[in-house]
Structures are given as structure tokens and as C-alpha cells.
């Protein structure tokens, strides 16, 4: 069940067509986790009209989100109603899939899975509403969700709560490389608990910023609180921040005139991963036109770069590159593609 509170109109309206990725889309973001720092980032949580939000100091690692079909995901049988899967690989080499049902009415999170088969959520009983459509400044939606969580020890507990989705601000978003005007901010306030009461109560607030010409969020800021609702008595709770994180879209993913190529036959990288028996040279085959390539570490630092002048095969010497997970980005005049490269010599 839900309720809708209509507010004043804003400059932009979010719909599924304008604001949800499609299968095949790839977006790079700069990601920064503050961990259990005990404090939120100043200036990012306030809403209202003609606000300026400043992300210019939130630099961090590069994370790539690939949007794939259900059949190519880790656990398709667990989420048969999902039609969009967001996949990324963490800095520790763990692949994580988030399963969504995307429709003209909204975007619903159905759960997630990972290659460690641990700490997974499942909301197929009553999905976790992520966005409602159409939505513009002043609109508010209230929802509930019901599911389960499997923790790192493999223990399954019920997980349920309430969600308020509100378009609570619009204005300018300051990124390290550009200021975006006329962005809409969405605030998602979630209250949830476990069936195992000793875990306590949780309050998550997610802030999403959207632009009219990019079909995904431009920036994302999350603050997570843990505590007890009635710590000091009925209605007198105690909560503290246990995690916060911020990310914003990379400049290459913001450009509207560059097509992201997802066809695996466009070019191939081999060997991948690079192991001891290999000669520590990466071969990139299939670039038939002039293209720029960059080898990037997970902090966003460019380690190697050059121009391929239409060669069918590019050789990249990685003998002196430490073991780890990297991104290889290749871009032509009207296309770009990013692939993950693992070095384990």
C-alpha cells in the first residue's frame, strides 16, 4: 500500500524513460567510503529550492557499474521478476549483482547476490521501492518492504521496514570537473529492523541527484545509522552513524555524445587475468580505428596511456604493474568501452 502527496512542480520530472539505465549501459563513478567515521559530510543532506551541493572534495576510487540482463547474472533463479541487474566488482575482487524490476511506475530492488554467497538480501516477498515515477520536486511516496537477509555466518533473518521517497530539492551540483545546473535531488529515508531483535534498529538515508540528460543518478550519498528505537523509553531512541559513502559520475560517463560499447566482440583482451606463466603483455585485439587507451588503477590514477592508430592489435607491457584489479578504458571518436583487467603474476 502507498500514499502520494503532491507538491509544487519543478523544472525536471523523472520517468523510467529518462532516469533508469538500460541493459547494456555502463557507468563509471568516483566512490569514497567514510566507513565508521562517526560524521556525515557537511552540506550534502539539506534540501530545498535553488540549493548548491558540493561534491568537489569527494574524490575516490573508480567503480564501474554494468547493467546486464537477468540470464547473465549470478543468481537468476532467485529473482525471476528482475529485468535489470546492476553488476560491479569491489576493490576486493567480489562481484556483486543488484536485481531490479524496472517499469513505467518505478524501480524496485528485489535483492542482491555476490560471488562470496554471503550477506545477501532478498525482497521478493515485498520489494524495496527505490524510485517512483513520475516524480518531481515536492512529490512524496510512502512504501513498505518485507524480505530476508543472509549474514556473513549464513544465518537468515527476516528484514522489514518502511520507505519514504521524496523529491526534496533542486539546484546546482558541483563536481570536481564541472558544475551541473538544474538537478533534482531525491531523498530515500528507510527504517528497518531484523526479526532477531539483538541487531537493533536501522535508519538509512540515501540521497540521489539526477540530471535531465543522463539516465542514471549523477551522484549518490548514503548515511547509515544503527541503534535502538526505544533506547531511553517509548519513542526515545538512540542512533549513531556506522557508515557513510559518497559517489559521483565520472566525466567520461557524463558525455552525452559518446556511445558506450557493450558488444563483447568489439575488441578482446587476453590473457585476462595475467598469471605467472604469461609474458606480462596484454594484447588488445579488434580496434580497427584510431583510439586512445588508458590503464587505470582502482583509485582512478592513470598508470599507462597511449594512442592506437588503427592497429588490429595493441601490446601493453605490464611487467612493472603490481598485482591487482585494474580498468582498461579504450575510446574512439564516438565510442568508449571499459574492461576489468586482473594481474596476478
CA 35/CA 18 separation, integer angstroms: 32
pLDDT of 206 reads 96
Q: Angle 119-124-129 (CA atoms, 0-180°, nearest 5)? A: 90
**Residue 287: strand, helix, or coil:** coil
Out of 110-124, 209-223, 269-283, 284-298, give the one with best mean pLDDT.
Answer: 209-223
**Residue 78: strand, helix, or coil:** helix
Contact between residue 245 and residue 39 where contact means Cβ atoms under 8 Å apart? no
Asked whether residue 244 falls in the same domain as residue 314, the answer is no
CA 94/CA 114 separation, integer angstroms: 7
Domain ends where: 239, 254, 269? 254
Domain ends where: 223, 254, 285? 254
Domain ends where: 228, 254, 280? 254
**pLDDT tens track for 1-20:** 223 333 333 478 999 999 99
Asked whether residue 248 falls in the same domain as residue 264, the answer is no
**pLDDT tens track for 296-331:** 887 667 788 887 776 667 788 888 888 888 888 887
Asked whether residue 138 falls in the same domain as residue 10, the answer is yes
pLDDT of 310 reads 64
Asked whether residue 50 falls in the same domain as residue 94, the answer is yes
Asked whether residue 185 falls in the same domain as residue 295, the answer is no
Asked whether residue 208 falls in the same domain as residue 265, the answer is no
**Residue 70: strand, helix, or coil:** helix
Q: Angle 100-131-41 (CA atoms, 0-180°, nearest 5)? A: 105
Instruction: Please name the residues in contact with 153: beta carbons below 8 A apart, sequence gap of 6 or more.
Output: none
Asked whether residue 284 falls in the same domain as residue 196, the answer is no
Q: Which three cell numbers stand for residue 185?
A: 535531488
Looking up residue 283, the CATH number of its domain turns out to be 2.60.40.3080
Asked whether residue 238 falls in the same domain as residue 202, the answer is yes
Asked whether residue 184 falls in the same domain as residue 237, the answer is yes
Asked whether residue 139 falls in the same domain as residue 162, the answer is yes
- Number of structural domains (the chain) is 2
Q: Which domain holds residue 332?
A: 259-344
Asked whether residue 240 falls in the same domain as residue 333, the answer is no
Asked whether residue 141 falls in the same domain as residue 12, the answer is yes
**Residue 17: strand, helix, or coil:** helix
Whole-number Cα distances in Å, 17 to 57, 80, 107, 212, 213:
31, 22, 11, 11, 11
Indicate the Cα dihedral angle 237, 238, 242, 248, nearest 10°: 60
**pLDDT tens track for 101-158:** 999 999 999 999 998 876 788 998 889 999 999 999 999 999 999 998 887 777 788 8
Amino acid at each position: 500500500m502507498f500514499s502520494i502527496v503532491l507538491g509544487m512542480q519543478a523544472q525536471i520530472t523523472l520517468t523510467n524513460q529518462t532516469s533508469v539505465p538500460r541493459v547494456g549501459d555502463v557507468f563509471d563513478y568516483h566512490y569514497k567510503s567514510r566507513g565508521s567515521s562517526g560524521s556525515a559530510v557537511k552540506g550534502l543532506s539539506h534540501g530545498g529550492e535553488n540549493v548548491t551541493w558540493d561534491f568537489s572534495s569527494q574524490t575516490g576510487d573508480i567503480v564501474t557499474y554494468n547493467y546486464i540482463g537477468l540470464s547473465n547474472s549470478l543468481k537468476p533463479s532467485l529473482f525471476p521478476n528482475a529485468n535489470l541487474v546492476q553488476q560491479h566488482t569491489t576493490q576486493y575482487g567480489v562481484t556483486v549483482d543488484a536485481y531490479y524490476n524496472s517499469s513505467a511506475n518505478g524501480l524496485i530492488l528485489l535483492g542482491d547476490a555476490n560471488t562470496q554467497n554471503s550477506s545477501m538480501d532478498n525482497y521478493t516477498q515485498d520489494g524495496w521501492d527505490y524510485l517512483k515515477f513520475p516524480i518531481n520536486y515536492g512529490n512524496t511516496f510512502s512504501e513498505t518492504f518485507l524480505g530476508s537477509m543472509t549474514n556473513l555466518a549464513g544465518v537468515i533473518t527476516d528484514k522489514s521496514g518502511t520507505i519514504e521517497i521524496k523529491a526534496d530539492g533542486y539546484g546546482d551540483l558541483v563536481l570536481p570537473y564541472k558544475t551541473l545546473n538544474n538537478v533534482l535531488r531525491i531523498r530515500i529515508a528507510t527504517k528497518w529492523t531484523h526479526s532477531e531483535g539483538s541487531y537493533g534498529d536501522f535508519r538509512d538515508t540515501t540521497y540521489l541527484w539526477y540530471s535531465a540528460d543522463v539516465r542514471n543518478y549523477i551522484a549518490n550519498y548514503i548515511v547509515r545509522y544503527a541503534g535502538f528505537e526505544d533506547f531511553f523509553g517509548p519513542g526515545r531512541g538512540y542512533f549513531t552513524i556506522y557508515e557513510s559513502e559518497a559517489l559521483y559520475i565520472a566525466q567520461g560517463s557524463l558525455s552525452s555524445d559518446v556511445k558506450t560499447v557493450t558488444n563483447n566482440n568489439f575488441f578482446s583482451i587476453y590473457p585476462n587475468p595475467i598469471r605467472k606463466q604469461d609474458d606480462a603483455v596484454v594484447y588488445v585485439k579488434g580496434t580497427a580505428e584510431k583510439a586512445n587507451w588508458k590503464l587505470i588503477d582502482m583509485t582512478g590514477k592513470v598508470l599507462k596511456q597511449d594512442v592506437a592508430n588503427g592497429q588490429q592489435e595493441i601490446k601493453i607491457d605490464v611487467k612493472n604493474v603490481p598485482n591487482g584489479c585494474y580498468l582498461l578504458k579504450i575510446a574512439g571518436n564516438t565510442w568508449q568501452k571499459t574492461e576489468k583487467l586482473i594481474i596476478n603474476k
